[in-house]
Amino acid sequence: MFDLLLTGFQIVLTPSTFLLILAGTILGVIFGAMPGVSASMSVALAVPFTYAMSPVVAIAFLVAVYCASITGGGITSILFKIPGTPSNAPTTFDGYPMAQRGEAGKALGIALICSAIGGTVSAVAMLLLAPQLANVGLRFGPSELFAVSVLGLSVLTALDSENVIKTLISGLIGLLLATVGMDPMLGIPRFTWGSSAMLGGVEMIPVMIGLFAITEVLRQTSKPLKLVTTDSKAGSNFKTSFLSWPEAWSIRWTVVRSSILGTVVGILPGAGATIAAFLSYSTEAKISPNRKQFGHGAIEGIAASETANNAAAGGSMVPLLALGIPGGTAAAVMMSALVLQGVQLGPLLHRTQPQFLSSVFASMILTNILMVLCSMAIAKVFNKVLNVPYSILGPLIVLFAAMGSFALKNSTGDVVLMMIAGIVGVAFASFKFSAAALVLGLVLGSLTEANLRRAILLEGGDLLAVISKPITASLLLVCAAMLLWPVVSGALKGKKKVAA
Amino acid sequence: MALELLFNGTLLAFFTYCFFYIGATVPKTNAVGWGAEVWPQAILLALIVLIGVNIYRVYRGSSAEERGLSSVRRLNLRSIMTGKLILGMGALFVYAIVLQALGFIVSTFVFFVVYARIVGQRNVKSLVVSSLVATLSVYFIFSRGLGVMLPRGLGLLRDFALILERL
């Protein structure tokens, strides 16, 4: 274990990697602080920068962007009541009232320190849990791996429990897109319509950049020219300050509970930082001794939200590194970036390339330290950044997105694909379909199909024999429960309402 | 409601076509294991059923007034087509198509001006300066910083890009 840690820190502390992690942290904080740029979008926009990096440095860089973007989102939540990412929304409940009464610096201090603690706890959890999970995963054959892939897909309904059917349709479209190109077992072309350009399949990165970045820019196009704060006074001037010792001591259990809750929620595939932040905030609002202050500027509220969303970011790396199953959309983007570099994520990765896990751990620790220092400085200049009109910010995001897609294979075809994905994303958003579900389906599609068909081949064509294996059957039952739970709970809620 | 039904209907028609297309273009399943068409057909079948259910839900969830043909007639196609969203989509699509032929510098500069104008920037001086700065910044980040060979364009535009690269 000690050797592993040493290797990780040796990798991230080499001057070039350190500078890249610093750049990733600054980039992440800036992206995260920009309203409308989610953590997944931040990672997607950062992917093109990794094309020239080695896979280990690339994941360290992307992890830095991911962790920092979630922290960066807290800045605008506190100063302007505009959550930078959806997972920072609960931070506005108490952060903004504190800013209004002239305590913006203190609110930022709490957010940053708690983010760093949450991120560090989840990094340690990742280091301890991922190898154990990978060892279990190594005993899995194709049928069990198929069930694990389905487990990753089973969170589809949890992504938007209000629109289960539309989310399932979106996930299935993602699975269908993954079948385009050469069939993984027999090499037969599918859905290519005779075009050789389609044989390689649908590139994941342009689709993701299109769905996350272009869709958001298009949606913002018809909105106001400037991001509007509800009270310009709140974030105009502030001095950064940290908590006094008694204040810090008073939130210790909030931080401990939120770190654990955030990490556990992050590990569950698909749950993610947003659910973690809201769950942690609502838990603390119920059990905190200071619960009456919640919503009026309680330091516990900021601590709960910011600790949990960062802890979830680290937690989502556990299934990614141990089983090759992304814990969330941002992890799915990271997975596709690594697959692009020829890295085969999964249980074998820990045996063959242990430096991946250690460098991710070291990068997370380093990012958590760097982002505290960077965020304070960035927060001070962010007032001015938010004054940049969207007529400049929007096209600039499109340019980065377009060049990021182009740089993948030096092909304008990928830029066209990205634009189409962006336009489809707008239709999806308008009619409440789920872009995140489509991405999950696209990422896990080929893995699911290949393992299922391999398992069927091994069992002589008997599908029942595949799904009735003990581990496979157990996992598939869990999947069925996860898929059906939102439907059942929705029906139960409906009955209660009728009865009332 | 009409637009949503139209979107779902288009998806349903396309996926039904795909179901038969994959069946007709892929060789039949071999004796052991699944053929290349089985997995996509299973997905397509699930899609067709779910989209059918979704269309039914959308239809049932709408009021009697919305269900009639009058709701389609009320759609103001002109205002939709001249809205910022459609114009933005058009600008993006045209940019992606002409990028190869016009090259990065020219197409990006024009796209930036057009898109900023669509979003609402009216000041011409600001439009030109911000477009120029953004184009050159992205060019230097990707071309010089990351070593990406950005599209040079055709003919004279290619010569211009080559001159710029030599600077």
Q: What is the C-alpha R_g of chain B?
A: 24
Q: What does the pLDDT read at residue A233?
A: 47
Across the interface, whether the CB atoms of B50 and A452 are under 8 A apart is answered no
pLDDT of residue A230: 43
Distances (CA, A) of A195 to A181, A201, A418: 10, 11, 19
Residue A231 pLDDT > 60, yes or no? no
pLDDT at residue B166 greater than cutoff 80? no
- Residue B32 backbone phi and psi in degrees, to 5: -105, 135
As a three-state string, the secondary structure of B78-105 is: HHHHCCHHHHHHHHHHHHHHHHHHHCHH
What length is written for chain B? Answer: 167
Burial classification of residue A204, based on how many CB atoms lie within 10 Å of its CB (0-12 exposed, 13-18 middle, 19 or more buried):
buried
Query: Measured between alpha carbons, how far is A68 from A259 in angstroms, rounded to an integer?
Result: 17
Look at residues B108, B112, B90 and name the one whose alpha carbon lies nearest to residue B150: B108
Residue A198 touches chain B, beta carbons under 8 Å = no
For residues A93 and A231, is the Cβ–Cβ distance under 8 A? Answer: no
On whether the CB atoms of residues A374 and A26 are closer than 8 A, the answer is yes
- Which of B50, B53, B134 has its CB closest to that of A172? B50
Query: Using CA atoms, how far apart are residues A333 and A205, in angstroms rounded to an integer?
Result: 7
SS3 A114: helix
At A260-275, the pLDDT tens digits run: 888 887 877 655 677 7
Rounded Cα distance between A446 and A347, Å, is 17
- On the question of pLDDT at A22 being above 50, the answer is yes
B113 Cβ contact partners less than 8 Å away, ≥ 6 residues apart = B127, B128, B131
- State how far the Cα of A243 lies from the Cα of A232, in Å rounded to an integer: 25
Highest mean pLDDT among A60-74, A283-297, B55-69: A60-74
Q: Which helix (H) or strand (E) holds A182?
A: strand A181-182
Of the listed ranges A169-178, A219-228, B148-157, the least confidently predicted one is A219-228
Name the residue among B26, B50, B150 with its Cβ closest to that of A169. B50
pLDDT of residue A498: 63
Nearest to A435, CA basis, from A159, A46, A203: A159
pLDDT value, residue A228: 45
Looking at per-residue pLDDT, the higher value among A497 and A123 belongs to A123
CB of A169 within 8 Å of any CB in chain B? Answer: yes
Nearest CA in chain A to B4: A431
SS3 A181: strand
Contact B57 A165 (CB under 8 A): yes
Chain A residue nearest residue B121, CA to CA: A391
pLDDT-derived band at A331, boundaries 50, 70, 90: confident
Q: What is the DSSP letter of A190?
A: E
pLDDT at A1: 65
Q: Is pLDDT above 80 for A198?
A: yes
Reading the block at residue A438, the tokens are 């489509």
Question: In this structure, are residues A229 and A440 in contact, taking their beta carbons and an 8 Å threshold?
Answer: no
The alpha-carbon gap from B118 to the nearest alpha carbon of chain A, in Å, equals 8
Residue A172: list chain B partners with CB under 8 A: 43, 46-47, 50
The answer, yes or no, to whether residue A277 has pLDDT greater than 70, is yes
CA distance linking residue A418 with residue A206, whole number of Å: 5
What is the mean pLDDT of the segment spanning A437-446?
A: 83
Residue of A nearest to B149 (CA): A410
Across the interface, do A399 and B108 touch by the CB < 8 Å criterion?
yes
- Closest approach of B46 to chain A, Cα-based (Å): 8
Please report the ipTM that was assigned to this predicted complex: 0.88
- Which chain A residue's Cα is nearest to B98? A412
Confidence (pTM): 0.75
Residue numbers in B near A427 (CB within 8 A):
7
The pair of three-digit structure tokens given for residue A392, joined into one six-digit string: 């400049």
Which amino acid belongs to residue B129? V
- Residue to mutate among B60, B119, B124, with most A CBs inside 10 A, is B119
Q: Which residues of B touch A165 (CB under 8 A)?
A: 50, 53-54, 57
Task: Identify all chain A residues contacting B17, using CB atoms and an 8 Å cutoff.
Answer: none
Cα separation, A428 vs A438, in Å, equals 10
Residue A182 bridge partners (DSSP): A189
- Weakest mean pLDDT among A284-288, A366-370, A402-406, A485-489: A485-489
Where is pLDDT greater, at A371 or A423?
A423
Chain A residues lying within 8 Å of B96, measured CB to CB: 402, 412, 415-416, 418-419
The dihedral of CA A95, A101, A104, A105: what is its sign?
negative
Q: Among the residues of A139-214, which ranges form H helices?
A: 142-153, 156-159, 164-177, 204-209
- Token pair for B34: 């699944």
Token pair belonging to A236: 């105009």
Among residues B119, B40, B150, B45, the alpha carbon closest in space to that of A405 is found at B150
What average pLDDT does range A166-189 have in this prediction?
90
Query: Considering only CA atoms, which of A97, A384, A121 is closest in space to residue A264?
Result: A121
What pLDDT, on the 0 to 100 scale, is given for residue A82?
Answer: 66
Count of C-beta atoms within a 10 Å radius of residue A244 = 10
% pLDDT > 90, chain B:
32
pLDDT at position A321 is 80
- Measured distance CA(A350)–CA(A7) in Å, rounded: 14
Backbone angles phi, psi at A180, to 5 degrees: -70, 135
User: Helices marked H in A222-271 — which ranges?
Assistant: 245-250, 252-267
Contact A273, A70 (CB under 8 A): yes
Q: How many CB atoms lie within 10 A of CB A243?
A: 17
Look at A423 and B92 and tell me if their CB atoms are within 8 Å: yes
Contacts A–B by Cβ distance under 8 A: 166
Q: Do A221 and B88 touch (CB under 8 A)?
A: yes
**Which of B7, B15, B18, B39 is the best substitution to test chain A (most A C-beta atoms within 10 A)?**
B39
Contacts with A163 from chain B: Cβ below 8 Å: none
User: How many whole angstroms separate alpha carbon A298 and alpha carbon A285?
Assistant: 10
Tell me: pLDDT of A237 over 90.
Answer: no
Q: Is A388 on the interface with B (CB under 8 A)?
A: no
48-87 in chain A: CB under 8 A from chain B: 48-49, 51-52
CB-CB under 8 Å, A416 with B50: no
Chain A positions touching B43 (Cβ under 8 A) are 172, 175-176, 179
- Report which secondary-structure segment, H or E, holds A38: none
- Nearest CB to A456; choose among B7, B33, B46: B33
Identity of the residue in A188, A406, A449 whose CB atom sits nearest the CB atom of B26? A188
More confident: A493 or A28: A28
Asked if A48's CB is within 8 angstroms of B146's CB, the reply is: yes
Return the pLDDT at B77: 63
Tell me the HSE value of B167 on the side-chain side, using a 13 A CA sphere.
Answer: 12
Name the residue with higher pLDDT: B46 or A122. B46
Write the pLDDT tens digit of every residue in B95-137.
999 998 888 989 999 999 999 988 888 888 888 999 999 998 8
Average pLDDT over residues A294-313: 87
